[in-house]
Amino acid sequence: MSDAFPVPVPGHVPVLRLGDVLLVTLQGDLHDSTAQQLQQDLAETISRTGVRGVLLDISGVEIVDSFLGRVLAEIAAQAGLLAARTVVAGMRPAVAITLVELGLTLPGLRTALSTEAAMELLTQHTPQSRSGGTRQESP
């Protein structure tokens, strides 16, 4: 089952649900208010739907700065607290180099070269059951 949340609105980043994964495609610059809204939308959607993963596709991002790096890390931290894993896909070499030069390690984030590889990471080793709203991850 696939449904869009929220309806694409200028200044908002669309979030698509693909089964147990939320797909977020970042294009160009992410402004403060848009980043804050995205974080809120993701946290609410994870909580409401119980999805187990967030896939951040940044293949459309050509330049990264410390702000975007912080936003990515915060999304991963929030998702992790809500029992969802985060994978960043499509990172360009220049973006990776810049993140390293900025000293941003992005804790809590896994990376994949493509959205397909990211989906595989998010769907493998997924726990089969939830009880009482909590999830036990296997080591």
pTM above 0.85, yes or no: no
Q: How far is CA 17 from the centre of its chain?
A: 12
- With bands split at pLDDT 50, 70 and 90, how would you rate the model's confidence at 125? low
Nearest to 130 by CA among 82, 62, 97, 87: 82
Please give the domain boundaries of the chain with CATH numbers for all domains. 2-123 (3.30.750.24)
Quickly state the pLDDT bin for 75 (edges 50, 70, 90).
very high
pLDDT in tens, 90-107: 999 999 999 899 898 887
Looking at residue 11, what is its pLDDT? 62
| Distances from the Cα of 110 to the Cα of 24, 57, 91, 104, 107, angstroms | 15, 12, 11, 14, 8
